[in-house]
Copies of this chain bind each other. A is one copy, B any other.
Amino acid sequence: MHVRPVTLVERLKKNGVLPTAQRLRIAALLLASPQHLTAEQILCRLREGGMRISKATVYNTLNLFAAKGVIRQLAVDGDRAWFDSNTEPHYHFQDIETGALTDLAPQEVRFDRLPSPPPGMEYAGVELFIRLRRV
């Protein structure tokens, strides 16, 4: 799936992100399909594609995107951050051996009961990782 640049520009603007060349390239890469990438992977792919971009800009951009809701940052294992192009509510399978993540559509998980938030608090999000092991 390919996202038209015009769409990307609009999308970034809508989220309050100034669309620069670097940001558009990162957005194009990440938002092309639902996927999970690390900062390192993004940096490598952009450079392989002939782009001149710094590690700092990749991190700045990913953090900005996550803060603005363009993408979602996942804390999977503490080793490194994963950036998820899918910002809709959903959950994840994780292969504990490879670390690979797979999206779970929200309707694949249904909660029969969830605790009420403590007084003075409200839900800010539900993070669900189902760890998988090879049989």
Given contacts A75-B78, A77-B75, contact A130 B118 (CB under 8 A): no
Taking a contact as CB atoms under 8 Å apart, the answer to whether B117 and A132 are in contact is: yes
Copies in the complex: 2
* A112-B115 in contact given A75-B77, A121-B135, A122-B135 (Cβ < 8 Å): no
In A84-128, which residues have CB < 8 Å from any B CB? 93, 95-96, 102, 104, 108-115, 117-118, 120-128
Given A111-B109, A113-B108, answer yes or no on A130-B126 (Cβ-Cβ < 8 Å): yes
Which 8 pairs from chain A and chain B are nearest by CB? A112-B112, A110-B112, A124-B133, A110-B113, A75-B78, A124-B131, A127-B129, A121-B132
